[in-house]
């Protein structure tokens, strides 16, 4: 499809509204459906999932139709689809959608491998369809406030903590793909630079895959960054600190409080202020950004290339096998004394 033809189609979509579907009716996909059902200019056509209990939950939450097979959704006619199915299915589903010229938002990680991710990117580019990757943390208002605060600054270092309890759901990935890939994307976005050096330390304490990861990075622009992530902390914590030559910014991504230290004096004194932070639901902001890109034909907020780049760094972190923790005799999540 030519760029002129794509622009014409985008204008036509904007006039008649967009017919959108969701693939995957787990927790994330059900939330996609809930948000899409409430957006103006959008018709939620339905949600696809092979499990009856998932379909029932999504229907109750979003008030939409539910289908067992992807072809049933295709038969209804859709302009765009969000894919929130298990990662190993992303490649097959995405290519099936792209073949039908359907615009896509694919949840992170974009695919199971870099090769599959690149296949999706190349196919979308050839077909002229919009492809966005669902790195929803970029749309957290606290993250947006941090990004604005460090704009134009000479960034020196970034520290990110993303920890919590062992997830109740069964998963075929460890903390690097499940959690740290969010922050790999944020490091690349904050610095607007590629990650060129990776130094991972991984360990398996209670899970078959890594459940502790201490990751160090250097970007092409010289920024040092680290990520601390695990499934061993009894409570969730999400924090970001950024040091620049002119300021120090601290953000709590859960409470959405962002503080800026600046005006450093030789005597060690400095000024501090709390920055304004919005109240938007990150998923809603993300889906609006995706649909805006579909309507306008503009480059989406998180491109397929960016999604593949973050996946590639995450996989590089995993090239070092996870080692058993010192107290590897534990067979399940640790108990909290009290």
Measure the CA–CA gap between 79 and 85, rounded to whole angstroms: 18
Q: Which of these, 132, 134, 160, 133, lies nearest to 146 by C-alpha position?
A: 160
- The enclosing domain of 41 has a CATH number of 3.40.50.720
The pLDDT of residue 171:
66
Contact 248, 194 (CB under 8 A): no
Identify the pLDDT of residue 320: 72
Q: Is residue 230 part of a domain?
A: yes
- The Cα 304–Cα 118 span in angstroms is 8
- Confidence at residue 5, expressed as pLDDT on a 0 to 100 scale: 47
Q: Are residues 203 and 89 in the same domain?
A: no
Residues 62 and 187 in one domain: no
CA angle (235 as vertex; 161, 281 as ends), nearest 5: 70
Tell me what pLDDT residue 13 has.
44
pLDDT of residue 208: 85
> How many whole angstroms separate alpha carbon 197 and alpha carbon 69?
43
pLDDT recorded at residue 326: 60
**Same structural domain for residues 45 and 95?**
yes
Residues 123 and 34 in one domain: yes
Query: Cα–Cα distance between 68 and 76 in angstroms, integer?
Result: 13
pTM above 0.75, yes or no: yes
In a domain, 2, yes or no: no
Whether residue 144 sits in one domain with residue 129: no
pLDDT in 10s for each residue of the chain, 338 residues:
444 444 445 444 445 689 999 999 999 999 999 999 999 999 999 999 999 999 999 999 899 999 999 999 999 999 999 999 999 999 999 999 999 999 999 999 999 999 999 999 999 999 999 999 999 999 999 999 999 999 999 999 999 999 999 987 756 789 999 999 999 999 999 999 999 999 999 999 988 899 999 999 999 999 999 999 999 999 999 999 999 999 999 999 999 999 999 999 999 999 999 999 999 999 999 999 999 999 999 999 999 999 999 999 999 999 976 677 665 444 444 443 33
Residue 168 is assigned to a structural domain of this protein: yes
* 270 and 293 within one domain: no
Q: Tell me how crowded residue 319 is: count the other CB atoms within 10 A of its CB.
A: 9
Q: Is residue 218 part of a domain?
A: yes
C-alpha 162/C-alpha 176 separation (Å) is 11
Does residue 77 belong to any structural domain of this protein? yes
Domain count, the chain: 2
**DSSP E strand stretches across the chain:** 18-23, 42-48, 66-67, 80-83, 103-107, 131-134, 155-163, 195-204, 212-219, 224-230, 237-244, 247-252, 257-262, 271-274, 323-324
Between helix 114-127 and helix 304-318 the angle, nearest 10°, is 170
CATH of the domain at 199: 3.30.360.10
């Amino acid at each position: 499809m030519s760029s002129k033809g794509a622009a014409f189609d985008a204008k036509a979509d904007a006039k008649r509204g967009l017919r959108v579907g969701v693939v995957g009716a787990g927790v994330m996909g059900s939330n996609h459906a809930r948000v899409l059902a409430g957006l103006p200019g959008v018709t939620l056509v339905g949600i696809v999932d092979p499990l009856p209990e998932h379909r029932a939950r999504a229907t109750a939450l979003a008030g939409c139709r539910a289908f067992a097979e992807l072809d049933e959704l295709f038969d209804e006619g859709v302009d765009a689809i969000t894919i929130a199915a298990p990662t190993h299915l992303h490649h097959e589903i995405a290519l099936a959608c792209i073949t039908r010229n359907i615009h896509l938002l694919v949840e992170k990680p974009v695919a199971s491998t870099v090769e599959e991710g690149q296949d999706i990117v190349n196919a979308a580019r050839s077909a002229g369809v919009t492809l966005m990757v669902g790195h929803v943390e970029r749309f957290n208002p606290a993250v947006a406030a941090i990004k604005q605060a460090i704009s134009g600054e000479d960034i020196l270092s970034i520290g990110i903590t993303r920890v919590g309890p062992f997830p109740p759901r069964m998963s075929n990935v460890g903390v690097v793909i499940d959690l740290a890939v969010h922050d790999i994307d944020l490091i690349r976005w904050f610095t607007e630079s590629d990650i060129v050096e990776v130094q991972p330390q991984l360990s398996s304490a209670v899970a078959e895959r890594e459940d502790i990861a201490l990751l160090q990075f250097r970007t092409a622009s010289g920024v040092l960054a680290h990520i601390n992530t695990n499934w061993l902390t009894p409570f969730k914590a999400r924090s970001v600190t950024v040091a620049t030559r002119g300021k120090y910014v601290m953000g709590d991504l859960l409470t959405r409080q962002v503080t800026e230290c600046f005006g450093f004096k030789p005597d060690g004194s400095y000024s501090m202020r709390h920055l304004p932070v919005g109240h938007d639901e990150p998923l809603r902001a993300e889906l609006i950004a995706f649909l805006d890109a579909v309507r306008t034909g503009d480059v989406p907020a998180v491109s397929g290339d960016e999604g593949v780049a973050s996946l590639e760094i995450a996989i590089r972190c995993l090239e070092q096998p996870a080692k058993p923790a010192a107290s590897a005799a534990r067979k399940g999540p640790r108990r909290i004394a009290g």
